[in-house]
Amino acid sequence: MAMELWHIGVPVTETLPGMEYAEEMKLWLNNPDEHEYKFELLKFEEGGPFPEVMHRTPHVAYKVDDIQRYLDDADELVFGPVDQGTSKMAFVFKDGILLELYQV
């Protein structure tokens, strides 16, 4: 299994500078690649597709070579997997930690 640390997702309660609105997800977020510490700041709006646990729980995001292998190893599937054409994304709990898995 190959994985690469991508970013740390941090839920926030207010919109902060650098955040943009993603209407389809009902979510404010920044680009973690442009953040000094690779933080992805997330402000969730009501009625979005993401489960409530994601609204209040930080996550660690990894780029992975084979998402299914990590899904099979997870303790709990939280969201997804979502097929985004050339990529797949899912959120899982593993050892009590919320992980975002992203396969390019």
pLDDT at 1 over 70: no
Query: How many structural domains is the chain composed of?
Result: 1
This model's pTM is above 0.75: yes
Which pairing describes strands 97-103 and 88-94: parallel, antiparallel, or unpaired? antiparallel
Provide the domain limits for residue 70: 3-103
Can you tell me whether residue 80 is helix, strand or coil? strand
Distance CA 7, CA 85 (A): 21
pLDDT band at residue 84 under the 50/70/90 scheme: confident
CATH classification at residue 89: 3.10.180.10
Considering all CA atoms of the chain, what is the largest pairwise distance in Å, rounded to the nearest integer? Answer: 38
Beta bridge partners of 89: 82, 102
